[in-house]
Structure 1
Amino acid sequence: MSKTSALRTVVWSTGGVGAIAIDAVTRRPDLELVGVWVHSEHKVGLDAGTLAGCQALGLTATDDAEALIALEPDCVVYAASGPERDAAAVPDYVRLLEAGINVVSTSSTALVYPPAYYSDESRGRLEAAAKAGSASFYVSGIFPGFASDQLALLLTTQSKRITCLTVTEIALNDHYPVADVMMDGMGFGRPLDFEPMLKTPGFIEMAWRAPIHLVADGLGVEVSEIRGSLDRRVTDTDIEVAFGTIPAGTCAAVRTRAAGVVNGREAIVLEHVIRMSRDVAPDWPASQFDATYRVDIAGEPDIHCAMTLGAAEGHGAGRAAMAATAMRVVNAIPFVVDAPPGLLSSLDIPNTLPRHAFG
């Protein structure tokens, strides 16, 4: 990478994370926004800055992937959501990598640690594409992402002995508007006899496999199995949320747990506690903030750390989490461009310290 040339950057999608990435890229002198991809036809031809909620940029959005590839950007910030997430995004990644374009993504969290990706075939395609294009690929976010890997691993640098490392996300998600994800995927607003996707056998183990194995790799241990569990609680009253009404007697709190077994003991544990109202499941871990990430290390010494995003009591935590997610990959762009070609995890690049954050 030239120290004087700005890295040519394309942002893929203008949703919550993508919009923040567009604004962030335009504010950095070491990055140059050269293109923006959109999924919706009604967004094509509109100013990218307007779509991102910032000042007009004089750059129009397009759904023409080949035109963006022809721009020969140094990196694509891939932030598509919904049906484009995870496995459905792999063909896009392959096309970009084969064209010699580095990719940073928030869309496929199962790839935060590529060696543990659940599809050997897809991982092989990505590896071959990165090799063919001499390009690098990196996925991050918050959870999975920073809280579940780099924050947790950083805290272990104080450890003499570790019995168990537990990372917990505690979230109030009444602001999340996507009904099918919340109701069919997680079971919110459904009676407890409804079986959401989360209850599919093996789903929790698969969903948290990558971050558990990333931590294990960082600490030099092997995970023999992952044990998953799901717990749900109902609300006594109707709750109005962004995706509709959660009727009394239906699920309003979900808790998942994935435990990586090391030497016969549950040693690397990821927990996810999501509520639609603070008064549901009062015996579960709680926080006055809407987004809290806890790292608890039992060992010598015991270590406890809590990271919060946004202000307390519902003031912008959702926006704060999206901003943190976006910046995990925007700040990584120079490091990923400089990295050797291939599929990367947070173990493979330096701390992605932000450049030009002050100002």
Structure 2
Amino acid sequence: MPTPADPYPSTSGRQVRVFQVATGNVGAEMIGRIQRHPDLELVGLHCYSPDKIGTDAGVLAGGDPVGVVATGTVEEIIAARPDVLTFHGVWPDVALYEAVLEAGIDIVTTADFITGHHRDANHPLADGRTESEVIAAACERGGSSFYGTGMNPGLAQILSIVHSCDVADIEKVTCIESVDVSCHHSVETWVNCGFGFPADDPEQVRKLELGCRVFGDGVYLMADALGIELDTVDFECELGACTEDVDLGWYQLPKGSVGGAKFAYVGKVGGVPRVELGLEWQMTPKTEPKWDVQGCYVTKIDGDPIIYSKHMIIPKPGTPFDAEAFASIGMTVTGMPALNAIRAVVEARPGIITSADLPLRAFAGRFAQ
């Protein structure tokens, strides 16, 4: 038999050189994950906080030094000549993206971008261009690729697409993230989403929708991969009000404030729901109404045959079974779909890439060395 063609010719026989941006919850976790990833070599770290510049990346991640010192300018990123930039800030930095992409460096990011639909619709730039237009033009100038997984859902849309592979006639695809979110200690995130604020204030539904629009992006991606064109993507929501004051230690939830929510982005054709990304988020079980969160992703496919699957993620043996361990897992499952796809993105065509463009091997994990 002929020898199969190397799927990754430009990086064959070597690790991909990675320059990381940000050391927040996800970024700190990814520094350690890159060190153990056989495909990747960390060659630089960009930080926005002046007090972090000059500090070893391993120390910033809460571990031992790794020999990579944090820098603070885009010029230092470009001078390091990495193959790829991994961006783990919560929100996109389009100016940084543009400079890096036009220098011929690919970008893989967990920030708020999957297809560009909601960023383009809701975050126009001052000069009237969309973020996608700026990113695509920079990719063309530099011959580079840009791939976003979204800070969340990251994994959900990939799970749903794979689960559809043995269905002959699809009627509706639903993926639900059903989790306790109290271990995600990000005050900014929950303030943006309205948790801890009066549940009877209509403003809280709007805040939740604004804070989670990347899930709508995930619906568009799923529809693209499944070959269906949506007429609308609608937001549906129900809030759970705390039945008493709740002190989480790191966040306060007064009685009557939002402590849980059940909501969804629903893609419809002719008014009929076809593709849905739903969430059941519980900050505390002491809410009314409340939901029986299952601690997993639930995929449902109505069709012939019907598919029902639960994807549960738990700490590895020997890891403390506590809130800190589950918080770490949350950061891991946010970042790893991006890290595992890096080699495929480096080999991909120039331009904005989505999960629908990548091969199955792009989502595969790696065996421990």
Q: TM-score, normalised by structure 2?
A: 0.86
Tell me, what secondary structure is at the counterpart of 1:321?
A: helix
Change (3 A) 1:205 1:13: closer
Out of 132, 136, 144, which is 1:135 matched to? 144
- Report the counterpart of residue 65 of structure 1 in structure 2: 74
In the TM superposition, residue 134 of structure 1 has moved relative to its aligned partner by: 0.4
**Matched AA of 2:35:** T
Q: 1:279 to 1:309 in 2, by over 3 A?
A: farther
Q: How far 1:137 moved relative to its partner?
A: 0.7
1:309-345, CA deviations, whole angstroms, 9 ceiling, x for partnerless residues? 2257746222102111111111111111011111000
Give the Cα separation in 2 of the matches to 1:264 and 1:205: 22
Cross-structure match for 1:324: 333
Q: Confirm or deny: 8 A CA contact 1:204 1:229 kept in the other structure.
A: no
Amino acid at match of 2:21: W
SS at match of 2:166: coil
**Following TM superposition, by how much is the alpha carbon of 1:346 offset from its aligned partner in structure 2, in angstroms?**
0.5
Structure 1 position 335 matched with structure 2 position 344: yes
Determine the structure 1 residue equivalent to 2:6. none
Q: Amino acid of the residue matched to residue 166 of structure 2?
A: Q
Instruction: Letter of the 1:193 partner, please give it.
Output: D
Could you tell me which residue of structure 1 aligns to residue 52 of structure 2? 43
Distance 1:204-1:17 versus aligned 2 partners, 3 A rule: closer
Check conservation: 2:111, 2:151, Cα contact below 8 A. Answer: no
Which residue pairs with 2:7 in the alignment? none
Code of the residue aligned with 2:33 in structure 1: it is A
Of 18-27 and 130-139, the range deviating more from structure 2:
18-27
TM-score, normalised via structure 1 length: 0.89
CA distance in 1, matches of 2:196, 2:365: 43
Which residue in the other structure is 1:239 paired with? Answer: 246
Contact kept, 8 Å, 2:87 with 2:111, in 1: the verdict is: yes
Query: What is the root-mean-square deviation in Å for CA atoms of aligned residues?
Result: 2.4
Equivalent-residue separation in structure 2 for 1:355 and 1:259 (angstroms): 30
Q: Matched residues in 2 for 1:218 and 1:299: separation?
A: 17
Deviation at 1:151, TM superposition (A): 0.7
CA deviations 1:206-265 (Å, max 9, x no partner) are 543321111111111110012212211112222122542212222211222221112431
Equivalent AA in structure 1 for residue 358 of structure 2: I
* SS across alignment from 1:177: coil
Preserved CA contact (<8 Å) 1:142 1:324: no
Equivalent residue number for residue 125 of structure 1: 134
Do the aligned partners of residues 225 and 238 (structure 1) sit closer, same or farther apart at CA in structure 2, a change above 3 Å counting?
same
CA offset at residue 193 of structure 1?
3.3
CA contact (8 A) 2:17 2:41 kept: yes
Deviations 1:130-174 (A, max 9, x none): 010000011115742221x21101111111222221111112122
Which of 206, 210, 227 matches 1:199?
206
Distance 1:29 1:159 in 2: 35
**Secondary structure at the counterpart of residue 70 of structure 2:** coil
The percentage of counterpart residues that share the same residue type is: 27
Instruction: Report the alpha carbon displacement of residue 106 of structure 1 after superposing the two structures with TM.
Output: 0.3
Gaps of 5+ in 2: 1-9, 122-128, 316-320
Change in Cα spacing, 1:44 to 1:326, as seen in structure 2 (3 Å) is same
Is 2:107 aligned against 1:97? no
Residue number among 25, 33, 45 corresponding to 2:42 in the alignment: 33
Among candidates 152, 164, 168, match of residue 172 of structure 2: 164
Alignment partners' CA distance in 1, 2:183 and 2:83: 35
Rounded to whole Å, the distance in 1 between the matches of 2:59 and 2:131 is 35
**Counterparts in 2 of 1:193 and 1:71: CA distance versus 1, 3 Å:** same
- Call closer, same or farther: CA 1:164–1:14 in 2, change over 3 Å: same
The code of the aligned residue for 2:103 comes to A
Map of 1:70-89 to 2, 5 A cutoff?
Answer: 70-81=79-90, 85-86=91-92, 89=93
Kindly report which structure 2 residues correspond to 1:247-262, keeping only aligned pairs within 5 A, or say none: 247-262=254-269
What is the Cα deviation at residue 7 of structure 1? 1.8
Matched residue count: 347
Residues 1:269 and 2:273 aligned together: no
- CA separation in 1, counterparts of 2:213 and 2:36? 37
Of the structure 1 ranges 236-245 and 90-99, higher mean CA displacement relative to structure 2 is found in: 236-245
Q: CA deviation at 1:114?
A: 3.7
8 Å Cα contact 1:106/1:141 also seen in 2: yes
Structure 2 vs 1, CA of residues 177 and 306 (structure 1 numbering), >3 Å: closer, same or farther? Answer: same
